[in-house]
Amino acid sequence: MPKITILPHPDICPNGKIIENAPNGSSICEILLSNGIDIEHACGLVCACTTCHIIIKEGFSSLNSIDEIEEDMLDKAWGLTSCSRLSCQAIVMEDDLTIEIPKYSINHAKEKY
């Protein structure tokens, strides 16, 4: 089972974290949540928002292929890169991963006016 290294994020994971033995076939979002990393997921993991946007620093090619719906949603994400994925759609296979949670997300339900 692969290892997932989460780079430090000032609010969600200040010291970073390493998750050993991440289960193959699970989404990155599910794995993060089950390991105490409270990544936003406003749509309930159904690819209807961008709050769980992550950047894959290592291991991008080992993930499942991105589909058109995820690509369309990612176009709306803050800080989009060529290695961006929605963590609810990125399925862990066999290779180790290093991920970055962007500093900001677009979560209209959480914004204060």
| CA–CA separation, 41 and 86 (whole Å) | 10
- Starting at the earlier edge strand, list the strands of the sheet with 4-6: 17-19, 4-6, 97-100, 53-58, 84-86
Residue 49 lies in a domain: yes
Q: What is the pLDDT of residue 93?
A: 95
**Separation in Å, CA 51 to CA 39, 78, 80, 94, 109:** 8, 9, 12, 25, 11
Domain membership of residue 107 (yes or no) is: no
Give me the CATH number covering residue 66.
3.10.20.30
Cβ atoms within 10 Å, residue 94:
9
Number of domains in the chain: 1
**Counting beta carbons within 10 angstroms of the beta carbon of residue 66, is it exposed (0 to 12), middle (13 to 18) or buried (19 or more)?**
middle
pLDDT score for 32: 97
The reply to whether 108 falls in a domain is: no
- Two structure tokens written together for 108: 């209209």
Indicate whether 59 belongs to any domain: yes
**Domain span at 24:** 4-100
CB 43 within 8 A of CB 87: no
pTM of the model: 0.90
Chunk the chain into consecutive blocks of 10 residues (it has 113) and report each block's average pLDDT, rounded to whole numbers. Answer: 96 95 95 95 92 97 96 93 97 96 70 41
